[in-house]
Structure 1
Amino acid sequence: MNTVSSFNPTTLPVNDNVNPYAFSVDLNGQWFTQKGKMIAYYGQIKFEALSAGFLDQLVATSFHSPLYAHDWVVAQGQGKLLLADRGFDVNSYDLDDGNLTVRAGNLLAFEPGLELKQSIIPGFLTLIGTGRFVAASNGPVHFVEPPIRVDPQALLGWADCPSPCHHYDHSYMRGALGMARHVFNIGGSSGEEHQFDFTGQGTVLMQSSEHVANEDTLLRDLEGQVNVLGVNGLQRLHSTIGQRLQAEKQQ
């Protein structure tokens, strides 16, 4: 007969994994947590929106991504905080005076000792400083060194090395077929035709799947960039979206 482990505040791990899919934060102060990633907690813990006035100093010091501010809260108090993300693998990572960029939808929580900024790559956030953060991945994470080209959907993040460049194979770009693919996004998700190209010194983090955990974060970036477009740009974007929707209906 199989036995089932039962946890309580004294037996839960301290800042470690409960299992591959859940992480236990030993909270004694404050952590930034993404909404919807807390599955349970023990103790006296409150969750405050970043707009709460008494958090102004903390937010001014540690959170510099207004585009994602609505997605985050501050967990404060004392107790055990359990984090998970829809059955994805969950792991913690320690930064020591470093910087790491991670897919925004995969970042679950981080200590206020780290400073969060918005990456120039849409859909990614950058953590700078010293401290711990928790992130989810669709399958185990692999750490590889540049130079390397990575499928965009398999890319989880990167540390130290410069931001990647887009790489499109010649067959993707060639002639009218390439233009049609660009407009209708036919084959656009294939890692064989489009990759992120990394060079320089650092580490690239890849998940073991081409399934992106949450595409809402990419939409948030795109919506944030719409504000800088003029009338001509908005009309062109409207036309491209209409063509893309029409192509989807025909599939």
Structure 2
Amino acid sequence: MSDPVEYDVRTLPSNDNANPYAFSVELAGQWFLQKGKMIAYYGQISFDGIGHGPLDGLIASSFHSPLHAADWVVANGHGKLLLADRAYDINSYDLEDGNLTVRSGNLLAFEPSLSLKQSIIPGFVTLIGTGKFVAASNGQVHFVEPPIRVDPQALVGWADCPSPCHHYDHQYLRGFLGGVRHLTGIGGASGEEHQFEFTGAGTVLVQSTEKMLDEQSVGGTPQQQGVPGGPPQP
């Protein structure tokens, strides 16, 4: 087992991965962060809620998703931010005058040069413009070209292509397992029965597992000893 790497403010990378599970943001101004994804920081940094504080002009120009506003903050100041999400794989991506739709639970942070909008597909948001964003995935991300059909649970997002259609394998549904489900109600749709179908030009992002990242409540205090508001020490 290799020795652990010890970082300080000078040795942390700038806008790059510290390791496969943590990303270091060089903050010199503002970034949008999903609550609960910052694990540590150096420097003079404040965190303002969406719709509150002195950054309303920035929010008005870059954040257009009222359903997700309570889950996001603006990091403002100078320093280095370490981002992570439950030891999932973390990667950064660059959009250049692009259009990318991503599962909302996978998106950790983005530069305010990008504009975030609410997707018409439930559970997804869309980033438009030029800039960097950071996202998590359950395993390595693969980039594939349409036309393709994707298991909905493996789908991370898609760039510069039309929104997907639902595709159902009716032969599979009409077969033995479909009949069992109809009679008993046992079983749910798998990726072999139901897929998202992509057509046209663009890129589809698929993670290496069919287990989605669970949505995590970010508004409550963790009920753990040693955390303010948690249970008392024994």
2:168 maps to what in 1? 168
> What are the Cα deviations for residues 4-26 of structure 1, in whole angstroms up to 9, with x where unaligned?
21100000000000000000000
Q: Work out the CA distance in 2 between the residues paired with 1:37 and 1:137.
A: 13
Q: Work out the CA distance in 2 between the residues paired with 1:181 and 1:51.
A: 46
Deviation for aligned residue 1:180: 8.4
2:125 maps to what in 1? 125
2:226 maps to what in 1? none
Superposed counterparts of 1:52-131, under 5 Å? 52-131=52-131
Deviation for aligned residue 1:84: 0.4
2:30 maps to what in 1? 30
The answer to whether the Cα contact below 8 Å between 2:50 and 2:73 also exists between their aligned partners in 1 is: yes
1 or 2, which has the higher helix percentage?
1
- Amino-acid identity (%): 74
Deviation for aligned residue 1:186: 4.6
2:223 maps to what in 1? none
Q: Work out the CA distance in 2 between the residues paired with 1:53 and 1:182.
A: 53
Q: Work out the CA distance in 2 between the residues paired with 1:185 and 1:151.
A: 22
**TM-score using structure 1 length:** 0.81
What one-letter code is carried by the residue in structure 1 that aligns with 2:114? L
Q: Work out the CA distance in 1 between the residues paired with 2:117 and 2:188.
A: 28
The answer to whether the Cα contact below 8 Å between 1:151 and 1:195 also exists between their aligned partners in 2 is: yes
SS in 1 for 2:59: helix
2:5 maps to what in 1? 5
SS in 1 for 2:105: helix
The answer to whether the Cα contact below 8 Å between 1:108 and 1:135 also exists between their aligned partners in 2 is: yes
Deviant stretches of 4+, over 4 Å: 177-186
> What are the Cα deviations for residues 98-149 of structure 1, in whole angstroms up to 9, with x where unaligned?
0000000000000000000011111001000000000000000000000000
Q: Work out the CA distance in 2 between the residues paired with 1:184 and 1:79.
A: 58
Name the CA shift for 1:37/1:183 in 2 (closer, same or farther; >3 Å).
farther
Deviation for aligned residue 1:54: 1.6
Structure 2: gaps spanning 5 or more residues: 218-234
Q: Work out the CA distance in 2 between the residues paired with 1:21 and 1:68.
A: 24
